[in-house]
Chain A
Amino acid sequence: MPPKPHRAILDRVTGYADEASAFLRRRRLTRRPFARIYLPGGRGIALCAETEEGRELFLAASRVLDAAR
């Protein structure tokens, strides 16, 4: 038995909204700033902008990007 017409439209709109929200979520995740430092021994450190060291590194990176303009 085929679904009622209004139900099919509702499902389609819900599907598009889900796609859009997933796209925005992925975009937000990939645009999040990050900083990683790799040491000669193979160890790596991830820093976030909330810490003092991370803030310094992000500021220094901004200066490098300004120099490249």
Chain B
Amino acid sequence: MAIAQIPTTVSHDARSNDTGAIVADVSDPNAAHAAKVADAELAVARLVEMSTDLRGCAILAEDGTPLAASGELEDWGGAAGALLAAADAAASEPAGHVHVGTEDGEVFAVRHEGFALVAASERFALASLMFFDIRAVLRELARGPAAAPGPEVEAEAA
């Protein structure tokens, strides 16, 4: 019984013609995560520069993964995640933003479009100003790197 033979050059041709385009369309999760981390680090640096009363901050992804922090990422990730979890448990639903004042300092947390930013500040920091700065940074982060003003724009504004 004869077996139908298909010339192998056909499949090779297909690979050279189509596979490249298919591979190009498949997103690389590692690359996407690295880009997100880089954007978050930039956002943390911007907030540290903007807010004079800020002691430190961290940005978390929607699933609670710490993306960037002004100090040790592990310490910040655990502490920030615990704060958001405690706030969610107290409110019985995901909190939009949180403000806690203690004798040691104040803590702010804001959720925005899949990101959460937790910040620690000096005592008696202006809450409205802190929330404004945090929201501005998170908005830029959510919009992507193209939304952040470049050095030329900042130089012109100055």
Give every chain A residue within 8 A of B96 (Cβ-Cβ).
Answer: 38-40
Give every chain B residue within 8 A of A30 (Cβ-Cβ).
Answer: 124
**With known contacts A34-B100, A39-B93, A68-B71, A53–B118 Cβ distance under 8 A:** no
Q: Which of A5-13, A14-22, A58-66 contacts B (4 or more CB under 8 A)?
A: A58-66
**With known contacts A35-B100, A45-B91, A60-B82, A67–B71 Cβ distance under 8 A:** yes
Does B104 contact A65, Cβ atoms closer than 8 Å?
yes
Quick one: CB contact mask for B78-89 with A, threshold 8 Å, 1 for yes?
Answer: 111011011101
- How many residues of A are counted as interface, with CB atoms below 8 angstroms from the partner's CB atoms? 28
Give every chain A residue within 8 A of B114 (Cβ-Cβ).
Answer: none
Q: Which of A34, A37, A65 contacts B120 (CB 8 A)?
A: A65
Does A64 contact B71, Cβ atoms closer than 8 Å?
no
**With known contacts A45-B90, A53-B90, A60–B83 Cβ distance under 8 A:** yes
Which residues of A20-39 are within 8 A (CB) of B?
A: 30-31, 33-39
- How many residues of B are counted as interface, with CB atoms below 8 angstroms from the partner's CB atoms? 37
* Cβ distance A56 to chain B, nearest Cβ, rounded Å: 4
Does A64 contact B103, Cβ atoms closer than 8 Å?
no
Cα–Cα, bound, A56→B94 (Å): 16
Give every chain B residue within 8 A of A62 (Cβ-Cβ).
Answer: 102, 104
Does A54 contact B79, Cβ atoms closer than 8 Å?
no
Give every chain B residue within 8 A of A68 (Cβ-Cβ).
Answer: 55-56, 70-71, 105, 120
* Cβ distance B43 to chain A, nearest Cβ, rounded Å: 17
Chain A, residue nearest B93 (CB): A39
Q: Which of B70, B85, B95, B107 contacts A38 (CB 8 A)?
A: B95
Does A64 contact B87, Cβ atoms closer than 8 Å?
no
Q: Which of B93, B98, B103 contacts A31 (CB 8 A)?
A: B103
Sorted nearest first, the 3 A-B pairs with minimum C-beta distance are: A53-B90, A68-B56, A68-B120
Q: Name A residues whose Cβ lies closer than 8 Å to a Cβ of B.
A: 30-31, 33-40, 45, 47, 53-54, 56-69
Inter-chain pairs besides A35-B99, A61-B83, A65-B120, 11 sampled, C-beta below 8 Å: A30-B124, A37-B91, A38-B95, A60-B85, A61-B102, A63-B79, A64-B120, A66-B75, A67-B79, A67-B80, A68-B70
